[in-house]
Amino acid sequence: MNFADEIVQWYLINKRDLPWRNTTDAYTIWLSEVILQQTRVEQGMPYFYRFLEKYPDVSSFAAAHEDEILKLWQGLGYYSRGRNMLKTARLVQETYSGRFPDSYNELIKLKGIGEYTAAAISSFAANEAKAVVDGNVYRVLARYFGIYEPINSTQGKKTFQKLADDFLNKKMPGLHNQAMMEFGAMLCKPKNPACNVCPVRPGCEAFKTGAVATLPVKLKTVKIRERFFNYFLITDGDTVLMNKRGENDIWANMFDLPMIETGSILPLEELLKQPEVLSVFGKKIDAAEVSPVHKHILTHQRLFVRLIQIHNQPEIKTDKNWVKIDVQNLPGLALPKIIFILLKNIFNL
DNA sequence: ATCCCGGTCT
DNA sequence: AGACCGGGAT
């Protein structure tokens, strides 16, 4: 028996009895599939029952008000799913006279139905030979075949779709698709997969190489953080107050200037009222901006940096990391690029 | 408290 | 590539 047949055998014995599996009605399957997008079975189940009871067919769904749909959808998240369902129900009512389509090529045109859902509905309702590739299928294929291509890259998606298509049981695509997903959800789980009872363990590349916990590979999207650095230029004769940075943030152990970080760009007036500023510099600061806001790009951060000169400051509550440095010694310090630029403009370094 | 997970649309 | 959401794990 090949890999896919083994999984179908496993499925026939171990499957959960879920309500949407006992029908070939495209409308009912559509309802369940959209509810289950990005949603766990346990969470989606009560919503499925409520929707099916209130809207037993596409005509009743199409006749609903958007407010009713959203109310019934409340708590499920990704509310555009509900709004798209209403658009689709109305379109189906109009153009298909209420007969929900069950072919991949018709389904894929509908709002809220992408590749996965079109393959799911067409294979479950009409046994069309389209392989589903959802998060479960990615995981099962990546592990069994030992594929390190990222599942969320453009090329990776193609690779996995092709692999899924190649292994699809063309005689019973619906059963095959259900089996692949159930196997991923119940046995080949993201965490703590049940390899000890896995029927395809002997052929599993990830198991052989100890890569089960590593696969599938997923590109993590590096979110770029925006930060706002307000630097203060505090001079005394030929010296300037510098700050030795700590270990944990960017520019570890390098020198910058005394600084207050804020959550956004504040007008100078506002900035000087911030508690952190008041506690360090007091109320009567004679301060002026001496640089525009510089945008400084790092790999994971976008910095908005400006320099504010403080003219008359007799008593500053100084920090233990602050040190007076002779201006002529500034070029000898390890300075981040943007700090060097700010100081260069002031002191003609 | 923060991270991770997941289909579709734009 | 990023936005959309809530739940479960850490």
| Nearest nt to the A75 alpha carbon by C1' | C6
DSSP symbol at A74: T
CA A185 to C1' B6, whole Å: 13
Cis amide bond preceding A216, omega within 30: yes
- Provide the CA A116 to C1' B1 distance, Å, integer: 34
Q: What's chain A's length in residues? A: 349
Strand B positions within 7 A of protein Cβ atoms: 4-9
Q: Which nucleotides of chain C have an atom under 7 angstroms from any protein CB?
A: 1-10
- The residues of A carrying an active-site annotation are 33
pLDDT < 70: residue spans in chain A: 221-225, 248, 299-300, 313-315
Are the C-beta atoms of residues A299 and A222 closer than 8 Å to each other? Answer: yes
Nearest nucleotide (CA of A81 to C1'): B8
Which residues lie near nucleic chain C, judged by CB under 7 A?
A 38, 40, 42-43, 75-80, 153-154, 191, 219, 221, 223-224
List the structure tokens of A137. Answer: 């299928």
Q: Which residues contact A77 (CB under 8 A, 6 or more apart)?
A: A38, A39
| CA–CA dist A338, A294 (Å, integer) | 8
Report how far apart, in Å, the C-alpha atoms of A36 and of each of A76, A163, A182, A183, A219 are: 10, 24, 13, 16, 24
How big is the CA angle at A101 (ends A158 and A60), to the nearest 5 degrees?
125
Domains of chain A are 225-347 (3.90.79.10)
Q: Write down the pLDDT at residue A137.
A: 94
Res A279: pLDDT: 84
Distant-in-sequence, close-in-space partners of A306: CB < 8 Å, separation ≥ 6? A229, A230, A231, A289, A291, A292, A293, A294
Smallest CA-to-CA distance from A81 within A44, A59, A113, A42 is with A113
Query: C1 C1' – A138 CA distance, angstroms?
Result: 20
Distance A217 CA to B9 C1' (A): 24
Q: For residue A314, what pLDDT is reported?
A: 60
Give, as one character, the DSSP assignment of residue A21: G
**Residues 6+ away with beta carbon under 8 Å from A154:** none
pLDDT of A224: 66
Q: Please tell me the predicted confidence (pLDDT) of residue A89.
A: 97
Residue lying closest to nucleotide B9, CA to C1': A112
Instruction: Identify the pLDDT of residue A147.
Output: 93
- The nucleotide whose C1' lies nearest the CA of A154 is C1
